[in-house]
Chains A and B, each alone.
Chain A
Amino acid sequence: MTAAAAPSRRARLADVWYDYRQSPVAVIALAIVVILLVAASLAPLISPQNPYDQATLDLFDARLEPGSVGGGGYVHLLGTDGMGRDLFSAILYGLRVSFTVGVAAGAVALALGATVGLVAAYYGGRIEALIMRTIDLQLSMPAILLALVLVAVLGQGMIQLIVALVAAQYAYFARTTHGAASAERRKDYIEAALSTPLPARRVLFKHLLPNALPPLIVVATVQVASAISLEATLSFLGLGLPMTQPSLGSLISNGFQYLLSGRYWISIYPGLVLMVLVVSINLVGDQVRHVLNPRRGR
């Protein structure tokens, strides 16, 4: 009658990592995300110039080709933009903005969407019908359209941008949570909790939510990538952050006008970084879904 030895949390994490690294592509994607994340957070230390500081900008350095040495006496690895900003530095700072916006919007959308989805699944009936039809209605509109309208109404700024992205994205979390929680809702342990009876809040957040969480982690990864590209799109359209806070999207937009005049680097390099980042996050999310799916059949 002795129970099997307890697999510690650490051992389970080791299992997850073992499953995860079965795909070399996903491991490389994870490495890229980590490198970009580290580079973005250490931007002030590793970038030769602070692109936010107008005093360090020199118009004589404008539109230098990659590899040339500017007035600052250092090599502009990726060239400079129309205002003399070192593109390498601008991309690192832009990554900071993209990560901040993406992760903040993803986290808030997760919290809001999960709560809405849980409430719908738990209460059922009219509340569920009302919430889920609203969500369906919203999901029938393109997220970019909703975010565009909201940013136009709310104005420019980091907070406004995050609010717009959350409003555009919480619906995905709500729907995923609702699906997972509805399945869990019918299980006996929820019935047991209700017939104890435990308070609704405890049943919701202690019993229902943790069991509906695995699919949410996957959606969260993908939605962070999607928030980053949405932010880039908005900034590219001039509706995101002001040019004094260059995000990847505004950098691309900034170099767009020079694209046909041979100064490709101003748009192409931030674009490449954005693409690599979004694709890598999506690949990581894909593999996480694979690992967390109990029926992956190994």
Chain B
Amino acid sequence: MEHLLDIDGVSKRFVKQTTLGERIARALGAGGAPEIVRAVTDVSLTVSRGEVVGLVGESGCGKSTLGRMVAGIYTPSNGRIRFEGAPVAVSRGRRVEKLTTRVQMIHQDPFASLNPRVRVADTVAEGPVAHKLVSQKDADAYVADMLERVGFDAASRRRFPHQFSGGQRQRIAIARALAMKPDLLVLDEPVASLDVSIQAQVLNLFQDLRRDLDLTAIFVSHDLGVVRHVSDRVAIMYLGRIVETAPTRTLYAAPAHPYTKALFESVPKIGAGRGVFRPIAGEIPSPLAPPQGCHFHPRCPSAGPRCGREAPVLKSIGPGQSAACHLHDGGVA
């Protein structure tokens, strides 16, 4: 199978910006070590053409950071992200320069991701026109076509973002991304800030577009139900690492990693009565100081002595299914 996207051993660290005073203090031997957030640690993942991969985890697990690296907003601290064999973005000093227009992103909050002072038509048109995907002359018709795809009529083109609801704005953001003729879409919690009734509408639109345009996508979400609905394959992240990846059907039928199981059990189910769902014990540790060994072991019901010493690697445990757990590596944790 042809890989459209290769994520190979990618890590991302954020170093807290130091003030001049702190730098002087450190030069004089005081002040301690700089604070480093390890958002993503040694993640490898491939996405094939035409596939939708769901990226699931609790907030703060690094899934959005990984999505932003794929979309070329950040560059990895270590490892490589290759889109059709070439990097998506490079660092130039502090700035990141994106090298391709064929990976586009849709942000979580449609109230923040659209410039409030730019009309809808200009929002959609400026990217394709700047990159000469369409001539200035044909831009109007092109924009009308894009907006029609996401369900707007011609009258909406002259309006400003504040004249639209959250779901409508998210559809405009989708039109803006589609107008760049992307091969890969990164959707960062695209429905998390929308009402449930509007969520379905946006998800159905995504499904329709996927069928019509043969889209490849990374769908970042914390919502297991949403991910099940849209993804072919799911990767579960915990504290910067991928702990399990499997085809959607397999994962929902037989989750292998203790974290995945715990995640499923913590979802409230209709009809299960009160108090049946079990939250995962403990708090998610700080990515400033992740635990030694397996990141999940302090909260894991099946943790053994090995888990605190040695980080498990992703191992194939079935057709298309991999998990990073010592339980699947000889059976003893």
The chain A residues found within 8 Å of chain B, CB to CB, are: 1, 3-4, 6, 123-125, 187-189, 191-199, 202, 206-207, 210-211
- B113 engages A6 (CB within 8 Å): no
Subset of 27 A-B contacts with CB under 8 Å: A3-B164, A3-B165, A6-B163, A124-B94, A124-B95, A187-B112, A189-B113, A189-B116, A191-B73, A191-B107, A191-B113, A192-B105, A192-B114, A192-B176, A194-B96, A194-B98, A195-B71, A195-B72, A195-B98, A195-B104, A196-B130, A197-B97, A199-B130, A202-B126, A210-B115, A210-B117, A211-B117
CB of B93 within 8 Å of the partner chain = yes
CB of B180 within 8 Å of the partner chain = yes
**Residues of chain B lying within 8 A (CB to CB) of residue A188:** 107-109, 112-113
**Residues of chain B lying within 8 A (CB to CB) of residue A194:** 73, 96, 98
**Residues of chain A lying within 8 A (CB to CB) of residue B116:** 189, 211
- A198 engages B165 (CB within 8 Å): no
Q: Mark B43-56, 1 if CB is under 8 A from A, else 0.
A: 00000000000000
Q: How far is the CA of A193 from the CA of B98 in the complex (A)?
A: 11
**Binding site secondary structure of chain B:** loop
**Which chain A residue lies CB-closest to B158?**
A6
**Residues of chain B lying within 8 A (CB to CB) of residue A192:** 105, 107, 113-114, 173, 176
**Interface of chain B residues 111 through 129 with chain A (CB within 8 A):** 112-118, 126-127
- B98 engages A207 (CB within 8 Å): no
**Residues of chain B lying within 8 A (CB to CB) of residue A207:** 115, 118
Q: Mark B161-203, 1 if CB is under 8 A from A, else 0.
A: 0011100100001001000100000000000000000000000
How many chain B residues sit at the interface, stated as a range, is 35 or more
Q: With contacts A4-B163, A192-B105 known, is A211 near B115, CB below 8 A?
A: yes
The chain B residues found within 8 Å of chain A, CB to CB, are: 71-73, 93-98, 101, 104-105, 107-109, 112-118, 126-127, 130, 156, 158-160, 163-165, 168, 173, 176, 180
**Residues of chain A lying within 8 A (CB to CB) of residue B159:** 3, 6
Q: How far is the CA of A202 from the CA of B109 in the complex (A)?
A: 23
**Which chain A residue lies CB-closest to B167?**
A1
Q: How far is the CA of A211 from the CA of B162 in the complex (A)?
A: 14
**Residues of chain A lying within 8 A (CB to CB) of residue B126:** 196, 198, 202, 206
Q: How far is the CA of A195 from the CA of B112 in the complex (A)?
A: 15
- A195 engages B73 (CB within 8 Å): yes
**Which chain B residue lies CB-closest to A123?**
B95
